[in-house]
C-alpha cells in the first residue's frame, strides 16, 4: 500500500521544521549573546539590593533561557519584608527583578519591645522601642517571629480600622486599643481619647475627630465619644 504523495510531503515538512526548531534551540542555549550580563532590581527601599540578588540566585554568565524565574521569585518571597516579586527577561542578556515591599502599619508589644506588622498581620521586624507607628493594645498574641502571620480577630479589627483612616489622622495617633467587647478606642499623640465604638463608619468618624481637633485648638480635651451622639469632654 503506497503513501499518498501529499502525505509524504507533509510529513517531510514536519520533520524539517522540528529539526529547524531543535537547531535554533541549540544555537540559543549555546550562544554567548544570550548569557546574563545585567540583573536589575527595582521597587526596593528597605531591603538591600544585595540581599535580593542573593536570594534570587541568578549568576551572570548563565544562559538567559536556563534561568528558572519562578524558582527565583519563590526564594525572594521567603523574605518577610517582600510582599510581591516578579522577574522578567529582557533580551538578549538582561533580567529585571521587580519587588513590592510590605509597609509597616502598626506596632505590637512583645516581650522585649515591639514588632512591626503590616495590614495583613505579617510580622516584619522587631523594634526595640516605639516609633512613629501607632501601638496596638488589647491584643494578646504569643511572641511572633518575622515572617509569621498573626491570625487574631482583634488585631484584624485594629489593622482594618487603621487602614481606613486618612493620613492626617493616622499620623496623629499613638495607640489603637480594642476592648474585650470589640470596641475601638484611639489615642492621639497628645493623649486625647477618641472612642469610636463599633468598627463601622470609620471614615465618617475620622472626619468628625479631625473636625473637632481643628475647631478646639488651644483647649484641653479629655475625650471624644462617637459611640452614639458625638460628645466632646473638655478638661476643667
H-helix or E-strand spanning residue 71: helix 69-76
CB 138 within 8 A of CB 115: no
Q: Strand 135-137's sheet: what is its strand order?
A: 123-127, 113-117, 106-110, 135-137, 173-178, 184-188, 193-197, 221-225, 231-234
Cα dihedral 46→49→53→55 (10° resolution)? -20
pLDDT at 130 over 90: no
pLDDT band of residue 9 (cuts 50, 70, 90) is low
The number of beta carbons lying within 10 Å of the beta carbon of residue 211 is 11
Q: What is the pLDDT of residue 140?
A: 87
pLDDT band of residue 27 (cuts 50, 70, 90) is low
pLDDT digits (tens, 9 = 90+) for 139-190: 988 888 888 999 999 999 999 999 999 999 999 999 999 999 999 999 999 9
Q: What is the pLDDT of residue 20?
A: 55
Which one is predicted more confidently, 188 or 11?
Answer: 188
Which one is predicted more confidently, 132 or 163?
Answer: 163
Q: Over range 111-135, report the average pLDDT.
A: 85
Q: How far apart, in whole angstroms, are the C-alpha atoms of residue 92 and residue 31?
A: 10
Query: What cell does 229 get?
Result: 451622639
Instruction: Average the pLDDT over each of 68-77, 102-111, 125-134 and give the range with the smallest value.
Output: 125-134
pLDDT band of residue 13 (cuts 50, 70, 90) is low
Q: What is the DSSP string of 79-129?
A: STTEEEEEEEEETTTEEEEEEEE----EEEEETTEEEEE-TT-BEEEEESS
pLDDT at 230 over 80: yes
Nearby residues of 159 by Cβ (< 8 Å), 6 or more positions away: 105, 106, 117, 119, 120, 121, 136
Q: What is the pLDDT of residue 22?
A: 55
pLDDT band of residue 113 (cuts 50, 70, 90) is confident
Q: Over range 49-65, report the average pLDDT.
A: 95
Q: What is the DSSP string of 24-47?
A: HHHHHHH-GGGB--EEEEES-SSS
Cβ burial, residue 12 (10 Å; 0-12/13-18/19+): exposed
Q: What percent of the chain has pLDDT over 90?
A: 71
Q: How far apart, in whole angstroms, are the C-alpha atoms of residue 196 and residue 184?
A: 5
Q: What does pTM read for this prediction?
A: 0.81
Amino acid at each position: 500500500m503506497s503513501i499518498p504523495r501529499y502525505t509524504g510531503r507533509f510529513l517531510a515538512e514536519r520533520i524539517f521544521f522540528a529539526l529547524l526548531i531543535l537547531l535554533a534551540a541549540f544555537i540559543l542555549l549555546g550562544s554567548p549573546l544570550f548569557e546574563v550580563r545585567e540583573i536589575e532590581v527595582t521597587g526596593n527601599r528597605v531591603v538591600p539590593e544585595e540581599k535580593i540578588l542573593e536570594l534570587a540566585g541568578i549568576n551572570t554568565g548563565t544562559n538567559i533561557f536556563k534561568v528558572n524565574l519562578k524558582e527565583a521569585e519563590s526564594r525572594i518571597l521567603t523574605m518577610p519584608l517582600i510582599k510581591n516579586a516578579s522577574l522578567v527577561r529582557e533580551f538578549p542578556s538582561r533580567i529585571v527583578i521587580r519587588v513590592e515591599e510590605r509597609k509597616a502599619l502598626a506596632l505590637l508589644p512583645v516581650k522585649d519591645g515591639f514588632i512591626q506588622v503590616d495590614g495583613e498581620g505579617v510580622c516584619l521586624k522587631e523594634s526595640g522601642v516605639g516609633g512613629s507607628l501607632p501601638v496596638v493594645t488589647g491584643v494578646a498574641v504569643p511572641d511572633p517571629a518575622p515572617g509569621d502571620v498573626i491570625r487574631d480577630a482583634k488585631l484584624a479589627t485594629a489593622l482594618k480600622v487603621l487602614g481606613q483612616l486618612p493620613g492626617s489622622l493616622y499620623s496623629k495617633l499613638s495607640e489603637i486599643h480594642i476592648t474585650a467587647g470589640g470596641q475601638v478606642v484611639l489615642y492621639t499623640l497628645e493623649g486625647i481619647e477618641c472612642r469610636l465604638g463599633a468598627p463601622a463608619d470609620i471614615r465618617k468618624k475620622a472626619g468628625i475627630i479631625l473636625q473637632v481637633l481643628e475647631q478646639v485648638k488651644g483647649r484641653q480635651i479629655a475625650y471624644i465619644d462617637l459611640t452614639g451622639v458625638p460628645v466632646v469632654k473638655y478638661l476643667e
